[in-house]
Amino acid sequence: MTAIYSIFGRISETIEKLAAIHRLLPWILAFALLLPLPQILSALFNDYYIYLANKICIFILLSVGLNIVKGFCGQVTVGHVGLYAIGAVSSALISLHFGWSFWLAFPIGILAAGLAGIVVGLPSVRLEGAYLALATLGLGESVRIMIAVTPLFGSSTGLLSIPAPTIGSFTFDSYTNYYYLVLAAAMIGIYLSFSILRSATGRAFMAVREDTVAAAVHGVNVTKYKLLAFVISALYAGAAGGLFAHMPPGYIHHNNFTIIEMVTLLLMIVLGGIGHIWGGIIGAIIVTIIYDQTLEFYFYQPLLFGLTMVLIVIFMPRGIGGMIDRYLATKKFIASQEEKSNAAS
């Protein structure tokens, strides 16, 4: 255990050194290191893990977005899958019905989700806590039902043959190719989330989370920041949705967007660490891998997941991210105490 933590410590030191050279350097390096992952996975295991890597990237986008509005801004939203669905269906419809390329349909899908994010965010202005949870739950479910009963949105047959993106003659129709797309999207998403959360906006979010009255007293426009958090998370969800829709085999159905998916997302950020900047990423990776490795126990899987969620909320409320933080902080403290005692003697 200590070994794993010390690795984290070393990594964060290296990253800081690189970032001192140029802000973006660690990111470019990480992207470059992750690029050959499909080839590595294919050599070590098999191509199935490339598909899993794709899924993880999409889940990362979803969890990071959810963490922004839920973990950092403290708004209890349980309708995130609805925004995911809107992004997916919009992008799919535009490329299926208008024949526009992915590069047009995808941004429009994101925008549609962002607009919906305003709608989902409006209740947050007036409601808090459980009331907000109920409102967003209702909205999310309504989106799914609308998809299920409207033939244009696929109703219960689903939307088929959603075209894969192309650049010139290069088509993103294999999981290896698509991986490059979702990896880029995920890295951009993570980078943006770090920028936002470490900026004044992020601090405003956290102020709103801690105490809206105190934040307002300090000049934070609570309404604006609440809505902003929702819209940002909606943009992430819309991006994830569009990427999901165009991923081979290009099929979406309304039961991809049920409450079960919402609870899985919740589990991801709770496990990874609500309000921790790495929370969404850690959670997405761990939950997807554990889910995959326990597939043969499908009988007990949901029970395991629900129990994990309950136990983590009770015993480890800061999630894995919180545990790492605590360890690093303890190490720093011990180190600083040793320095003091060394300096004294």
Partner 1 sequence: MSIFNKNFIAAGMAGVFVAGMAASAMSADIRVGITMRMISENGQRYGQMVMDEIDMINESGGINGNMLKATLMNDECKSDKGVANAIKLINQQKVHILIGSTCSSVSLPIVDITEKAGVPQIIPHSTNDKITKKGSAWVFRVPVSGRYYAGVNAKYVGENIGKKIAYLCAADAASQNDCDAMQSQMKSQHGADPAYVAQVQEKEVDFRTHMQKIKSAGVDGIMIAALAETMARALTQSYEAGIPASVRRIGSSSASNSPVPSIAGDAAKGVFFAAAYAAADSRPIARLFNEMVKKRYGVNSPDHDFSQAYDLVRITEIALKNADLKLDDENLAADRTAIRDAIANVKDYNGLASGPISFCAAATPQCRDGNRTAVLIAYTKGGKDYKTEVLARVTMPIDFGL
Partner 2 sequence: MDFDFSSLFAFLLFGVTIGVVYGIVALGISLIYSGLDIVHFAHGEIYMFGAFFGLVFSHTMGFPYPVALLLAMVCAAVLGMGIERVFYRRLTKGGGGYTVAGMGMIICGFGMSIVLMNIAFLIWGAAAEPFPVDLGMPFQLGDITLPKSYALTAVVAVLLMAALHYFLKKTKLGLAVRAVAANKDIAYLMGINVPMMISLIFGLACGIAAAAGVLIGPMQSVQVEMGYLMLLKAFAAAVVGGFGSLPGAIAGGIVVGIAENLGAAYISPNHKDIYAFLLLILVLMIKPSGLFGIVARVKA
d(CA 186, CA 180): 10
d(CA 119, CA 113): 10
Out of 17, 214, 317, 329, name the contact with partner 2 by CB under 8 A.
317
d(CA 232, CA 336): 39
DSSP string, 323-341: HHHHHHHHHHHHHHHHHHH
Of 148 and 184, which has the nearer Cβ to partner 1?
148
Structure tokens at 269: 């950020």
70 binds, among partner 2, partner 1, none (CB under 5 to 8 A by kind): partner 2
Sign of the dihedral defined by the CA atoms of residues 324, 305, 58, 292, in that order = positive
Q: Does residue 310 belong to the site contacting partner 2 (CB under 8 A)?
A: yes
Of 52 and 69, which has the nearer Cβ to partner 1?
52
- Of 125-133, 219-227, 236-244, 276-284, the window that binds partner 2 (rule: CB under 8 A) is 125-133
Give the CA count within 13 Å in the CB-facing half-sphere of 329.
Answer: 6
Q: Does residue 146 belong to the site contacting partner 2 (CB under 8 A)?
A: yes
- Where does this chain bind partner 1 (CB under 8 A)? 45-48, 51-52, 55, 145, 148-149, 155-158, 160-161, 173, 175, 248-256, 292, 295-296, 298-299
Question: Distances in Å between the alpha carbon of 149 and those of 40, 62, 153, 164, 254?
Answer: 43, 25, 8, 26, 10
Element (H, E) at 203: helix 200-210
Q: Does residue 130 belong to the site contacting partner 2 (CB under 8 A)?
A: yes
Q: How far is the CB of 268 from partner 2 (least distance, A)?
A: 12
By CB under 8 A, name the binding residues for partner 2.
Answer: 70, 74, 76, 78, 122-123, 126-127, 129-131, 133-135, 137-139, 141-142, 145-146, 149, 259, 263, 266-267, 270, 274, 299-300, 302-303, 305-310, 313-315, 317
